[in-house]
Amino acid sequence: MTHYYFITDTLTGDLLDVVPFCSDGCHYWYCHENGLEYQGWNGCHEHPYTDECRECGTLIQGVEEAVAC
């Protein structure tokens, strides 16, 4: 399951974008290396389409593409 870092508007708190990761460890290190505040464990998301972990490049299988037709 996918882990997310949430990018939010600092004034309104609106969710602007999500950064996907393959694991909580990648989420943590991405934040550490980019000077971002680690927001805590944020996993178990179903990513809709196949994507790459922004930290290590591991492919994240999209749930909608995982269903065989």
What is the contact surface with Zn ion in residues (CB under 5 A)? 22, 26, 53, 55-56, 58
Three-state SS for 5? strand
Q: Closest distance between Zn ion and the C-beta of residue 49, in Å?
A: 17
Q: Closest distance between Zn ion and the C-beta of residue 17, in Å?
A: 18
In the complex with Zn ion, the residue whose CB is nearer, 13 or 40, is 40
Nearest to 55 by CA among 15, 3, 16: 3
Q: Which two tokens stand for residue 60?
A: 């994240």
Q: Closest distance between Zn ion and the C-beta of residue 29, in Å?
A: 9
- Measure the CA–CA gap between 62 and 46, rounded to whole angstroms: 7
